[in-house]
Amino acid sequence: MGRALPEHYASQETLIAAFRDAWAGAHFNPDRLDELHRAVQVSGRYLALPLEAYREMTSFAARNEAWTRAAVDLGEAAIRDALGRAGLSPADVDHLFFVTTTGIATPSIDARLVNRLGLRRDVRRSPLFGLGCAGGAAGISRASDLLAAFPDQVAVLLSVELCSLTLQLEDLSIPNVISSGLFGDGAAAVVLAGADRDGGSSTGGPAVVATGSVFYPGTERVMGWDIVESGFKVVLSAKVPEVVRRNVRGDVEGFLAKSGLERSAVRHWIAHTGGPKVLRAFESALELPEGALARSWRSLKETGNLSSAAVLFVLGELLASGEPARGDRGLLMAMGPGFCSELVLLQW
């Protein structure tokens, strides 16, 4: 695992003050704005640009150009961090997966990193767009599926999300106000090696045992983007926690049953930081013990929701802790636009 955060950081109180100033006279209830921003339990967020620069980002073109520049820089840093921890070099990478939901580029960011990193000319690339918070888990699934077919190869998953550059200052809807207080910027990279290349998990990382996807029909308007002239306008339904609570237990139990397991077999729960209501929905629906999602809660507080990178940051914290013992199982789970779930069973 490798991670990278922008150099610019602002506390939640600083951001609340900035939004109050930007929306002064326009928002019908400024106190409600403060209340919504504090309710997400985020203490601060890292930003792709200095705070004062966002006033100049008035067009989609300007936002997306800034996104492209920052995505390449953060993506390079995250991949170099991950490869260094794995004891590998860019020349060892056979396949590069790239997930994002917050900007678009052609050539895609993974292509722009080939020269920057010195990747081989025959590296295979798979850019994936639009999976939202589920993208990090989905990326691990797709990379592990590839390595099952090519067990002597190395795949790298890169997630870059610069949520601040999707901000619509002219949108005073409740979903946009909540999003402006919840989402942050960051990048994460995961190195995966096929069974014939791994050498017996010499880095101490877990094996991907099983992967699963669940799509919920008729839920396309629960979360996503409306593409408008100024860029990405957030779609965020208040029903998200309800959808999680209604589905996640059955999805998890059905997924684990395919491997002959019950929920009690999972020691480490790795959930994306969807917000307080989503995390509580995970905890209640799965009847998790106290503290089971402590890393997710802490990540939410420290960096906000990083969309597809969020669950990877939580995974990185678990790996860095040294807590998992040989034989332990972990379940990585994330939900996103579709609406859908992505599940990954890990074993150390």
Which active-site residues does the annotation give?
A: 133
Tokens of 157: 């998953």
Cβ distance 134 to 243 under 8 Å?
Answer: no
Cβ distance 90 to 118 under 8 Å?
Answer: yes
Q: 3-state DSSP: the chain helix, strand, coil percent, rounded to 5?
A: 45, 25, 30
60-86 vs 109-117: helix crossing angle, rounded to 10: 50
Task: Compute the distance between CA of residue 10 and CA of residue 181 in angstroms, rounded to an integer.
Answer: 12
Task: Compute the distance between CA of residue 337 and CA of residue 219 in angstroms, rounded to an integer.
Answer: 8
Q: Can you give the three-state secondary structure of 250-309, one letter per residue?
A: HHHHHHHHCCCCCHHHCCEEEECCCCHHHHHHHHHHHCCCCCCCHHHHHHHHHHCECHHH
Cβ distance 81 to 190 under 8 Å?
Answer: no
Give me the sheet containing 95-100, strands edge to edge: 2-4, 185-193, 154-162, 95-100, 124-129
Please name the residue that has the structure tokens 């997400």.
40
Please name the residue that has the structure tokens 């067990």.
151
**CA 62 to chain centroid:** 24
Task: Compute the distance between CA of residue 183 and CA of residue 303 in angstroms, rounded to an integer.
Answer: 8
Tokens of 346: 């890990």
